[in-house]
Structure 1
Amino acid sequence: MSAGGQEGENTVAVSVKPSAKMVCWTGSDYLYAGPGRKPRFLRQLESYVNRELQTINPHEPELQELKLQVYRDVFGRFIEEFKTYQPLLCAIKKEYENTLVYQQLQIRDLEPLRCHLRLVTEECDRRIRARWEEEQALEREKQQLQKDVEAMREKETVMQTLVAHLQSELADQYLLYQEQSDAHETLIAKLNDLTSCSVKEEEPAHENTEGEDKDPVMLRLALRVCREDLTKAQVELNRIQAEYWDVVPRRNWETLEHTHQQTLLQLERLQGDFDQLRSEHDTLLELHKRGSMHAESDRSITEQMDESVHHRQNQLQSNLLKVLIHSDASESGTLTVQEFRAALRTALPLKSDQAIDALVASAESELDSSNDTIAYQRLYSLGANGKNGEFLSLVMRQSLEDRQLYISQLRVQLGDKGEVSVSDLRAALMCIDPALDSDALDWSLSLAFQVKKEELNQCDTLLDRETVLQRLVSVLPRQD
């Protein structure tokens, strides 16, 4: 119903959705009403929105899509009613729909990056934990070795204290020995004197008389000799004490020397083990760094190939959507089956008739279309699980099959060569696809041989044929 009227009709039945109908009554207050009152048309639209929203299960996976469809239907009914503004409102609706499709594609492009960021974060956390555990293990080993060295030093200090104690005991024993030796000599001298006196008493009387006259002189001489001998002995004793006060018995000295040598050998062995462990640790760190660098390089190449595959898939979908939008001359968001088939032929010129028919049938099946039109924008809506629908999945599957066929042709062109050079691969690619431009060719060769474009002419590397073909699966420049 237009804003200008068509008010002469009694009723107009408008179908917004197959499962819900709104009956619109014409009259003076259908589109317009006085102050404080809502027009009947507005009340019908609000009632329809509230009724449809209540029928939607809040746990439905496609909840937002279903709610959006309700408002989309209401907006379409509003556009049909105001025919004067219908072209402008249709253009606004189309731009919103295109923007939604574009935003969905952007979200799909960013999803792998988020997954990749999560994987990189987990890998970094794992490396940090591993490095921290290694450092903790080395720190514990270092502390244990320091404890062993401190124990050795304490044991050496105890040994030195024991040696000093033994030296002191030896000096005391030596003094006791000297005293006992002096006492023994004194007793022997006294015994000799007594023996001499007994012998003299047995001599004749005249001799006794003469001996008695000489006895004081002999005694004085003997006393002087004894005093001289005592002085010499005392001097010798003092000299020996001064020179050998810190001397220990040889047996004790050899025992202590052997223990000390064993301690030194054990300390040297522990120091050698520590140096070896530190060297092995440094070697392991170096090997770990090298392995990390190689792993990072391989991971970078794999991520680059995966990104290339994902980029080509998104580019194929985006180009196909652009062709479909360009083919929509009425800007209604729908195409006839013939227009849809012609757009597919334009976007995918190398597809066979059977492949195009399969794509058309897949689109009709996904949309459950019973008439001769296809709402192509709905084909780009994500499913409940966040994946592509039947139509886009078939497009990607056909693209993969075409590329595998291209790889098979390239394998035949390379022949029975076990290893392939840059020139061999360049010639094979040009033979299969003569229209291939130089930039795309250099890009494929650089990713296949993992070198920069500027280094292709100097690259003389020979790679296994199957390795090269496997890398080319994700980078071949041929259009689908």
Structure 2
Amino acid sequence: MVNKTVCWTGSDYLYAGPGRKPRFLRQLESYVNRELQAINPHEPELQELRLQVYRDVFGRFIEEFKTYQPLLCAIKKEYENTLVYQQLQIRDLEPLQCHLRLVTEECDRRVRARWEEEQALEREKQQLQRDVEAMREKETVMQALVARLQSELADQYLLYQEQSDAHESLIAKLHDLTSCSVKEEEPAHENTGEDKDPVMLRLALRVCREDLTKAQVELNRIQAEYWDVVPRCNWETLEHTHQQTLLQLERLQGDFDQLRSEHDTLLELHKRDSMHAESDRSVTEQMDESVRHQQSQLQSNLLKVLIHSDASESGALTVQEFRAALRTAFPLKSDQAIDALVASAESELDSSNDTIAYQRLYSLGANGKNGEFLSLVMRQSLEERQLYISQLRVQLGDKGEVSVSDLRGALMCVDPALDSDALDWSLSLAFQVNQWADYGKVKEEELNQCDTPLDRETVLQRLVSVLPRQD
């Protein structure tokens, strides 16, 4: 702080000739340079500390120039109020920026996961299609093979039948020749008693040998032509295997169709669950946003009351004036709660006199967090909401499920001063009716159309985000 005990009456203290700085200006510049050098650039509240140095210098400047003091004080106050308002706005926007970043990352992750899942399903589909095509090609080849074997078997069977008939015909001819030779030899032997004719025997032997040679040639030809013919037992086995393959192909096709149907069903269920999850997440985010908005509104209203109570526009109030301002801002709070707020403000500011610099209460928070006083205000508000919910629970009694009319009656009993817009807004949050409507824009007919009762605890938990009364 600039030394306020210095009193300089020379003409060069405030004014100086050309090319020279007044002594008062040199003192202020020396103080600013000394204080700024003493600030650690790595401290988290660097900008706040630098601003405080210039606040002190500006205050010393105002004290020195008595004539312009009212105007300069008014300028300083407006800047301070604007700075506090901007800090509140920044605190409100920081959670939204963080939430937007988290939502963006989650959406990107889900898009990548959905894309990878679709790629895996596409690869599986293509593999199944390749398997089906391979089985169909195999079936076509086997059907062609079976048709060719059947044709060859029919040809070979006809040829075999012809050869068999020819062979039987030769055997019959040989048998006839042999019978004739025996009949001719027997009468000659009986009648003449002479030996058999060697010429006839040689002739019969030659005919037999010729027939035997022809039979051997025919047998060799048949063996040469039919050595690669499939036996009937093997053909029946092949036919049975083919039928089994066709049955297996039909089962695989049925399994594939069932798998595809189940996959489509699971995909539809997954999409439906995703839509429900998105809806539930939207409701939760809306409730959280409502809580943050009400907390910010509560702080802003309190600051307006404190500024209005500051008649001297000095940025500070006496303890009694501060207590009266709190009573004006929170008319329903108990004396114990007001005393706790006053004690918290004095402790946070480490005030040793009978004044409270209320503007500093809004600028002492670090890293976007509230100070001790504002945190106590928020805790008291939360406790009042919990008490409000407890009173509603008592009014609802032992009902497991409540309707819109039940909750409307309980709210009016607990808080008779609740206006119609606030009442309809609370009911819309509890029953999730027209969730995207703004405050005061919920239509009563939309609430009346919601005739489905809900679980009592679910409704009360949704009402936690609603302020119990307009303090």
TM-score per shorter chain, which class?
0.7 to 0.9
Tell me which residue corresponds to 2:468: 477
1:24–1:44 CA contact under 8 A, matched in 2: no
Displacement after TM superposition at 1:348 (Å): 0.9
Distance 1:442 1:42 in 2: 62
2:316–2:355 CA contact under 8 A, matched in 1: yes
1:380–1:389 CA contact under 8 A, matched in 2: yes
Tell me whether 467-476 or 333-342 shows the greater mean CA deviation: 467-476
- 1:234/1:96 CA distance change after superposition, 3 Å: farther
Deviations for 1:351-378, whole angstroms, at most 9, x for unmatched residues? 1222212111111111111111111111
Distance 1:126 1:389 in 2: 36
- 1:157/1:401 CA distance change after superposition, 3 Å: closer
2:345–2:373 CA contact under 8 A, matched in 1: yes
1:94–1:333 CA contact under 8 A, matched in 2: yes
Say which of 329, 351, 369 aligns to 1:369.
351
- 1:178/1:98 CA distance change after superposition, 3 Å: same
1:202 alignment partner, SS class: helix
TM superposition score normalised by structure 2: 0.80
Distance 1:204 1:478 in 2: 148
Displacement after TM superposition at 1:205 (Å): 11
1:168–1:246 CA contact under 8 A, matched in 2: no
Displacement after TM superposition at 1:401 (Å): 1.8
Displacement after TM superposition at 1:188 (Å): 5.8
Tell me whether 339-348 or 223-232 shows the greater mean CA deviation: 223-232
2:156–2:226 CA contact under 8 A, matched in 1: no
Q: How many residues align?
A: 460
- 1:203/1:268 CA distance change after superposition, 3 Å: closer
2:404–2:447 CA contact under 8 A, matched in 1: yes
- 1:438/1:173 CA distance change after superposition, 3 Å: closer
Tell me whether 467-476 or 87-96 shows the greater mean CA deviation: 467-476
Distance 1:398 1:205 in 2: 149
- 1:462/1:243 CA distance change after superposition, 3 Å: farther
Identical pairs, percent: 95
- 1:74/1:183 CA distance change after superposition, 3 Å: same
Distance 2:237 2:5 in 1: 114
2:174–2:208 CA contact under 8 A, matched in 1: no
Distance 1:179 1:123 in 2: 84
2:6 alignment partner, SS class: strand
Distance 1:182 1:254 in 2: 26
Tell me which residue corresponds to 2:74: 91
Deviations for 1:408-439, whole angstroms, at most 9, x for unmatched residues? 22222333333322222222222222222111
Displacement after TM superposition at 1:24 (Å): 6.5
Displacement after TM superposition at 1:62 (Å): 1.1
2:287–2:465 CA contact under 8 A, matched in 1: yes
- 1:135/1:313 CA distance change after superposition, 3 Å: same
Displacement after TM superposition at 1:125 (Å): 2.3
TM superposition score normalised by structure 1: 0.79
Tell me whether 65-74 or 105-114 shows the greater mean CA deviation: 105-114
Tell me whether 235-244 or 464-473 shows the greater mean CA deviation: 235-244
Tell me which residue corresponds to 2:11: 28
- 1:399/1:226 CA distance change after superposition, 3 Å: same
Deviations for 1:443-465, whole angstroms, at most 9, x for unmatched residues? 11222222264322233332333
2:63–2:69 CA contact under 8 A, matched in 1: yes
Displacement after TM superposition at 1:71 (Å): 1.2
1:167–1:246 CA contact under 8 A, matched in 2: no
Q: CA RMSD in A?
A: 5.4
Distance 1:416 1:198 in 2: 126
Gapped regions of structure 2 (runs ≥ 5): 434-442
Displacement after TM superposition at 1:73 (Å): 0.9
Distance 2:10 2:321 in 1: 41
- 1:29/1:148 CA distance change after superposition, 3 Å: same
- 1:450/1:235 CA distance change after superposition, 3 Å: farther
Deviations for 1:304-339, whole angstroms, at most 9, x for unmatched residues? 222222111111111110011111112111111121
Say which of 211, 219, 225 aligns to 1:243.
225
2:352 alignment partner, SS class: coil
1:23 alignment partner, SS class: coil
Displacement after TM superposition at 1:247 (Å): 10
- 1:215/1:41 CA distance change after superposition, 3 Å: farther
- 1:203/1:430 CA distance change after superposition, 3 Å: closer
Displacement after TM superposition at 1:169 (Å): 7.0
1:359–1:394 CA contact under 8 A, matched in 2: yes
- 1:344/1:195 CA distance change after superposition, 3 Å: closer
Displacement after TM superposition at 1:196 (Å): 8.8
Q: Does 1:456 align with 2:439?
A: no
- 1:160/1:244 CA distance change after superposition, 3 Å: farther
Deviations for 1:99-121, whole angstroms, at most 9, x for unmatched residues? 11111111111122223222322
